[in-house]
Copies of this chain bind each other. A is one copy, B any other.
Amino acid sequence: MEFSLNQVAKLINGEVEGDGEVRVNNVGKIEEAGPGQISFLANEKYEPMVYETKASAVIVSKDFKPKKEIKAALIRVKDPYMGFTDLLSEVDRLMSLSKVGIEEPSKMGQKVTHGDGLYLGAFSYLGDNVKLGKNVKIYPQVYIGDNCQIGDNTILFPGVKIYKNCIVGSYCTFHGGVIIGSDGFGFAPQENGTYKKIPQIGNVIVEDHVEIGANTTIDCATMGSTVIKKGVKIDNLVMIAHNVELGDDTVIAGQTGIAGSTRVGKNVVMAGQVGLVGHINIPDKTTIASKSGVSNTIKEAGTTVFGYPAMEINDYKRAFVGFRRLPSLLDRVRELEQKVINLAPAEGK
C-alpha cells in the first residue's frame, strides 16, 4: 500500500511542508527509516536525527522550529506521536479491509448470509445459518458453528474456533487460536465417585469493539449466555468460564482465569496471571494486581487489591514487609523471651 504525503496528511489531519506528491509505503524509526518510509519526531532527544534521517517524510509538531536544513518532507500535526499511531491505525484498517473474496477450498453451510466486503480464507468452515455482517474478515482455518452471528468489520485471525449459537458484535478482533463457546466445566459428582456431565447448552455473546488475544478460551453458559460487554480487551491464554459476565471496557492481561458465574463490572483492570473464583462480584473500576487470587466479592468500587487471598494493596504490601523481616523477628522474639526469663524473680528465693 502506497500513499502520497498529501493523502497521509489528510488521514491524520496534518499539513505538508515540502513535496506533497512524494510517495511512502512503510514506516520506521527516525534513526533507521530510509527512502519511501515515513517517521515521526515526538521526543526532543531525537531532534538531531531529523536533520540526518533518510526517511522520505517525518511527522513533526506544529510548533517544531528546525535549527538546520531538513531533507525529508515534514507533516505538521498537533501531537506527532498520536499522529503517527493514527496513521498506523488507518493503514492497518485499510489493509485489513483490502482483503476481500472467498478463497477455495472453504466451506459454507446452508443459508449462510453475509454483507459486502467479506474475506473468507481457505480451509475456513461456516456452519448452517451463519450470519455475517459487512466487511467481515475471516482468515484461513477458522471454524464458525451453526447459527452464529458475526457483526460488521469484525476480524477473525487464523485458527479461531467459534462453537454453535454464539453471537459476536461489530469491530471485534479475535486472534489466532481463540476458542469461543466450548463447554463449561460442569460435572455432578455421583455416589460411585464418577462424574456426570451437566449439559452446557448456553452460548457466548461478545459485544462490539472487543479484542481477544491468542489462544484465549471463553466457555459457553450452562444455560443462558456468557457475556463479554462492549470494549472489553482480553490478552492471550486467558480463561473465561461459563456464565461469566464482563462489564464494558474491562481489561484483562495474559493468563488470567475467571471461574464460573463471576460478574465483573465496568472498567476493571486485571494484570497477568490473576485468578478469580466463581460466583463472586467485582465492582466497577477495581484494579487487581498481577498473580492475585480473589476469593470473595469485592464490595467497594475503585479499590486496588493484591495477593492471595487478595487484600487492599497497601495492607498486603505492609504485611509483605513483615514477611521479609520474619527471620529477624523470630530472633528478636527469642531474645525477648530470654530477657524476660532473666528479669523474672528467681523462683524459690
Query: Which residues from chain A sit less than 8 Å from chain B, CB to CB?
Result: 27, 29, 85, 88-89, 91-92, 103, 105, 107, 121-123, 125, 139-141, 143, 145, 157-159, 161, 163, 173, 175-177, 179, 182-183, 185, 187-188, 193-199, 201, 209, 211, 213-215, 217, 219, 223-224, 231, 233, 235-237, 239, 241, 248-249, 251, 253-255, 257, 259, 266-267, 272-273, 275, 277, 290-291, 293, 295, 308-309, 311, 315, 318-327, 329-330, 332-333, 336-337, 339-340, 343-344
* A55 CB → nearest B CB, Å: 14
- In the complex with contacts A290-B275, A330-B329, A163-B157 CB distance below 8 A: yes
| A309 CA / B332 CA spacing, docked (Å) | 24
CB of A213 within 8 A of CB of B217, answer: yes
The 8 closest A-B pairs by CB, nearest first: A322-B326, A88-B199, A182-B214, A143-B158, A179-B214, A214-B217, A161-B176, A176-B179
| A17 CA / B257 CA spacing, docked (Å) | 45
Chain B residues closer than 8 Å to A199, beta-carbon distance: 85, 88-89, 91-92
> Interface centre among A92, A194, A236, A340, by most B CB within 10 Å?
A236
* A333 CB → nearest B CB, Å: 6
* A252 CB → nearest B CB, Å: 9
A-B contact sample (16 more), CB < 8 A, given A143-B159, A215-B237, A319-B326: A107-B122, A107-B140, A158-B161, A173-B183, A183-B213, A185-B254, A187-B233, A193-B266, A214-B219, A217-B236, A291-B308, A322-B327, A332-B333, A332-B337, A340-B340, A343-B344
